[in-house]
Amino acid sequence: SGLGMFSTIICGFLSPLVVKRLPEHVQVDDPAVVKRLAKKLERQQIPLRSDYGYKVSLFSHLHQYSRKAPLTQLLSIPSTVIHPSIVRLGLQYSQGIVAGSNARSVALLHAFKQVIRDYTTPPNEELSRDLVNKLKPYISFLNQCRPLSASMGNAIKYIKKEISNIPSQCKEEEAKTKLLKCIDRYIEEKIVLAAKAISKYAIEKISDGDVILVYGCSSLVNHILCEAFEKSRKFRVIVVDSRPRLEGREALRRLVQRGISCTYVLISALSYILPEVSKVFLGAHALLANGYVMSRVGTSQIALVARTFNVPVLVCCETYKFCERVQTDSFVSNELDDPDDLMVTRKGKTQLENWQDVSSLGLLNLVYDVTPPDFVDLVITDLGMIPCTSVPVVLRVKNLDQ
Amino acid sequence: MPGADKETDLTERIEAFLADLKRGGSGTGPLRGSGEMARETTYLLRRITAQARWSSAGDLMEIIRNEGRRMTAAQPSETTVGNMVRRVLKIIREEYARSRGSSEETEQQESLHKLLTAGELSEENFRQHFVHLKANVIEAINELLTELDGTTDNIAMQALEHIHSNEVIMTVGRSRTVEAFLKDAARKRKFHVIVAECAPFCQGHEMATGLSKVGIETTVIADAAIFAVMSRVNKVIIGTQTVLANGGLRAVNGTHSVALAARHHSTPLIICAPMFKLSPQFPNEEDTFHKFVSPHEVLPFTAGEILSKVNVHCPVFDYVPPELITLFISNIGGNAPSYIYRLMSELYHPEDHKL
């Protein structure tokens, strides 16, 4: 399955040893794996998306797609294999319309709700097994549009488990309502209520007169700042942004709308602005089992420079983003975005216009990077405020619960 | 009268130079490299020496000092101008001492006796008239100009001592010196270069196209990815705008992050800077260190309403402390940052540090 990376980790006496299979999307340089994937996609009747442009040799094991060639161009619309809401979702992912860890997970869950509503069990089949099989090509399709995030992977694991746990005597309507309620509860508990709990803890850490630095657009951090402002804390915010995504502008808009006084700089001006800063709040894409924080590229740089200026770094992350993977650098597992995004037109001239024609020139547009735990002072989760190294403890507690 | 014509011609040239300096700094005029700036300043100083009216070395030094003050006031961030003025002042002092016949060592030594009797000594010098002083000074300035012409080549010649095969080298933004350095090494060795684009001016793009044209494997990355890729980098080679008196740098913004990332990964940080960039300034002068340009580079006017509600900063320079730097490569060879103070005492006279 395409979710081999999220299978059970070695947990000693708790469960038998399961050897993890490396996910396909970090083995693009292995032709056998690519062939296997192509065969699987053919079986599921999903088109294979081809790579674009010259890939930097350090990242030849990852995919690199162009936004101008979405997967839907190779699909016949309306598709008989893939549910239309999934097709729409895939397109929204690949074009960057739905971006951000929480947004993507919530959109995914809503799309799955629609799929479940429209689902009818074929005769002589059990809902618990057939629905799971129906979801597999959808997941492959979404993976082709944009590699799944850790939070999406955990959500899918949860749904699959819920579906397989439906008893066989259960009537279809009842089963479907039960599943829809499960999904709603998941969103409510893991995302909405978690955000409230995290805000409560985080607001204790914000004092009057603080100057808070945030990076990019994290829905959770924006929520915390807006809540703190509602509770009449006096602080100002510095939004740091970076090319080529420039997500900070969205965060800036949201904060300014609420009336929070903001400053805006690019990441290269970090050393200039940090002496004014009292705290740094960062969002996370996933928290890895060895304590590393996987987040938008540039986060590790901010944490490094903040550490040099002795500014505390606080990471805010819901527990459903905790991941059993381990990673020490930003190369082995990452995502490559469209390299054309790096081009810029200044004073009417685009320097890198014909970069494809020059054989020794490559553009690298990384999406994620990992921050070592010694740069992070505190992680604020819905279970409380923990140090970075306590992530495997939380995972174990979660496994016991389930 | 021919004398008056020459004078007006000279003043015109000086005024034109000052206007150029003022315009060039705001980003609206054509961007000039520091090397060009240094050469133009030295030409102008040579012209002043040749055409202005002066009878003794003291007069000439007064004239040059005045002009130097005006030039640095026109564009404080362009330190090469001030550096060249100080070099020429040192040349005049040396030529005067040579004409007087006194050996140079006694001038340099800082004995207790000299310190106590300092006041009277500096007053009485430089009033004597020497016939050949003008010719000597102009010849020395010509030597300085030849040195300036050859700086980039001198630095590039040292490239093969520092770059081996299959290295991954990181650089930031655009520096003509570093470009020449890397191109020279590429003639004999194969290596990769990662260029950080250095927003918002994105000069890294020009650098990358220049390097890839000669066949060097180049990758352009965004500034945010500097720490992420630093673990694969063997050396960081960058240029700078100024080398400060304590061995620190005033370089393009983003350089401090690069230096910190390099220190974290124990990657050597090498600065390619010609000697004319060495300035007797220290980084403590807060109001003269930073320079800002229009914030529309960072947040364009198309952003709309929020522009009136936010503060936007666009600093141009960054301070890099000397502890983060491994090596300086200049036209006179390689030096550690702790040696910079000694080089400075050879280039400039302590009394000229403040113009």
Question: Hey, where are the domains in chain B?
Answer: 3-102+129-148, 152-347
pLDDT recorded at residue A11: 41
- Counting residues of chain B whose pLDDT is more than 90, the rounded percentage is 52
pLDDT recorded at residue A63: 84
- Residue B31: is its pLDDT beyond 80? no
Taking the mean position of all CA atoms in its chain, how far away is CA A300?
Answer: 16
pLDDT recorded at residue A353: 85
Query: What are the structure tokens assigned to B66, written together?
Result: 């005045």
Q: Taking CB atoms and an 8 Å limit, are A369 and B227 in contact across chains?
A: yes
Cα A236 from Cα A262, distance rounded (Å): 6
The pTM for the full model equals: 0.90
B6 Cβ contact partners less than 8 Å away, ≥ 6 residues apart:
B51
Nearest CA in chain A to B257: A305
- Please answer whether residues A52 and A67 qualify as being in contact, where contact means their C-beta atoms are separated by less than 8 angstroms: no
pLDDT recorded at residue A6: 45
> How many CA atoms within 13 Å lie on the side-chain side of B272?
26
The average confidence (pLDDT) of chain A is 87
| Residue A232: other Cβ atoms inside 10 A | 7
CATH top-level class of B3-102+129-148 = mainly alpha
Out of B216, B257, B311, whose CB is closest to A301?
B257
Q: Taking CB atoms and an 8 Å limit, are B310 and A329 in contact across chains?
A: no
Least confident range from A17-21, A164-168, A324-328, B278-282: namely: A17-21
- A221: confidence class by pLDDT, cuts 50, 70, 90: very high
- Residue A2: is its pLDDT beyond 50? no
Q: Taking CB atoms and an 8 Å limit, are A301 and B227 in contact across chains?
A: yes
Least confident range from A301-315, A342-356, B141-155, B215-229: namely: A342-356
For the segment A123-177, what is each residue's pLDDT rounded down to a tens digit? Answer: 888 888 888 888 998 998 898 888 888 889 999 999 999 998 888 888 889 999 9
pLDDT recorded at residue A107: 95
Query: How large is the average pLDDT for residues A87-113?
Result: 92
Among A182, A179, A138, CA closest to A3: A138
Beta bridge partners of A369: A295
Q: Taking CB atoms and an 8 Å limit, are B220 and A342 in contact across chains?
A: yes
Interface contacts (A, B; CB < 8 Å): 163
Please list, residue by residue across A77-93, b when 16 or more beta carbons sit within 10 angstroms of its beta carbon and e when fewer do: eeeeebbebbbbbbbbb
pLDDT recorded at residue B102: 65
Q: Domain B152-347 carries which CATH code?
A: 3.40.50.10470
- B144: confidence class by pLDDT, cuts 50, 70, 90: very high
CA-based max dimension of chain B = 71
3 state SS for B118-186: HHHHHHHCCCCCCCCHHHHHHHHHHHHHHHHHHHHHHHHHCHHHHCCCCCEEEEECCCHHHHHHHHHHH
Out of A304, A331, A352, whose CB is closest to B261?
A304
Cα B337 from Cα B344, distance rounded (Å): 12
Residue from A236, A249, A266 to probe the interface with B (highest B Cβ count within 10 Å)? A266
pLDDT recorded at residue B25: 57
- B265: confidence class by pLDDT, cuts 50, 70, 90: very high
Out of A252, A256, A268, whose CB is closest to B199?
A268
The nearest CA of chain B is from the CA of A209 a distance in Å of 17
- Please answer whether residues A309 and A377 qualify as being in contact, where contact means their C-beta atoms are separated by less than 8 angstroms: no
The nearest CA of chain A is from the CA of B327 a distance in Å of 22
Nearest CA in chain B to A253: B306
For the segment B191-217, what is each residue's pLDDT rounded down to a tens digit? Answer: 999 999 988 888 999 999 999 999 999
pLDDT recorded at residue A69: 79
- Please answer whether residues B40 and B33 qualify as being in contact, where contact means their C-beta atoms are separated by less than 8 angstroms: no
Burial of residue A109 (number of CB atoms within 10 Å: 0-12, 13-18, 19+): buried
Cα B55 from Cα A197, distance rounded (Å): 82
| Residue A49: other Cβ atoms inside 10 A | 21
Cα A201 from Cα A197, distance rounded (Å): 7
Residues in B touching A272 (Cβ below 8 Å): 253, 290, 313, 315, 318
Nearest CA in chain B to A362: B219
Q: Judged by CB atoms within 8 Å, which residues 234-253 of A form the interface with B? A: 242-244, 249, 252-253
Burial of residue B260 (number of CB atoms within 10 Å: 0-12, 13-18, 19+): buried
- Please answer whether residues A46 and A139 qualify as being in contact, where contact means their C-beta atoms are separated by less than 8 angstroms: no
Out of A56, A265, A361, whose CB is closest to B298?
A265
Say yes or no: A304 contacts chain B, CB-CB below 8 A: yes
- Please answer whether residues B236 and B175 qualify as being in contact, where contact means their C-beta atoms are separated by less than 8 angstroms: no
- Please answer whether residues B172 and B261 qualify as being in contact, where contact means their C-beta atoms are separated by less than 8 angstroms: no
pLDDT recorded at residue B13: 86
Strands A378-381 and A368-371: unpaired
Strands B333-335 and A293-296: unpaired
Residue from A238, A268, A299, A357 to probe the interface with B (highest B Cβ count within 10 Å)? A268
pLDDT recorded at residue B285: 64
Residues in A touching B174 (Cβ below 8 Å): none
- A13: confidence class by pLDDT, cuts 50, 70, 90: very low
Residues in A touching B290 (Cβ below 8 Å): 272
Given the cut 0.90, state whether the ipTM is greater than it: no
Q: Which residue has the higher pLDDT, A44 or A402?
A: A44
Distances in Å between the alpha carbon of B126 and those of B58, B60, B106, B123? Answer: 5, 9, 16, 8
Among B68, B134, B156, B199, CA closest to A269: B199
Cα A382 from Cα A319, distance rounded (Å): 7
